Amino acid sequence: MTKTSVIAEPGTYEVLMTRVFDAPRDLVFKAFTDPRHIPQWWGPKNLTTVVDKMDVKAGGLWRFVQRDQQGNEFAFHGVYHEIMSPERIVNTFEYEGTPGHVALETARLEALPDGKTRYTASSVFQSVADRDDMVRSGMESGARESMERFADLLTTL
């Protein structure tokens, strides 16, 4: 099984994540952009995720709300800037618990000759401090767990 690579070079504005999925690019794109699938993979297993908004088009809004077992809520939102099916998704990402710290995310999906898909996601933050705060928040472990859950979902579609 492929593992998720997360790279956050010191002093940079970017976090780069890559993973190869054992599924064709069209299916990977669909799973990333279908609101029915998001609760099955987005975020850690110990949280439930609800899709509040997800209008997958340029200018469309998205908002996901996570809840823990105690009922605490953690919300995230953004705007889709580009949807190029099945190759690329560009959107902003903001955690509502710390408003004003917005990242620009670009997800690229590359079809590989063996029917697999290489996913490469770049998250560019407004400052090195914002990027470092996100890394310290546990983003890397959360992203790895989400990608594991996503890979599992793909086997059922």
Its pTM stands at 0.94
Confidence tier at 1 by pLDDT (50, 70, 90):
low
Q: CATH for 5-154?
A: 3.30.530.20
146-151: Cβ within 8 A, 24+ apart: 146/41, 146/42, 146/43, 146/44, 147/4, 147/17, 147/19, 147/119, 148/4, 149/40, 149/41, 149/42, 149/45, 150/21, 150/31, 150/41, 151/1, 151/2, 151/19, 151/21, 151/22
Tens of pLDDT, residues 29-52 = 999 999 999 999 999 999 999 999
CB atoms within 10 A of CB 10: 8
DSSP state letter for 32: H
Tens of pLDDT, residues 68-126 = 999 999 999 999 999 999 999 999 999 998 889 999 999 999 999 999 999 999 999 99
Enumerate residues 6+ apart whose C-beta is below 8 A from 81.
Answer: 58, 59, 90, 91, 92, 104
Domain definitions of the chain by residue range: 5-154
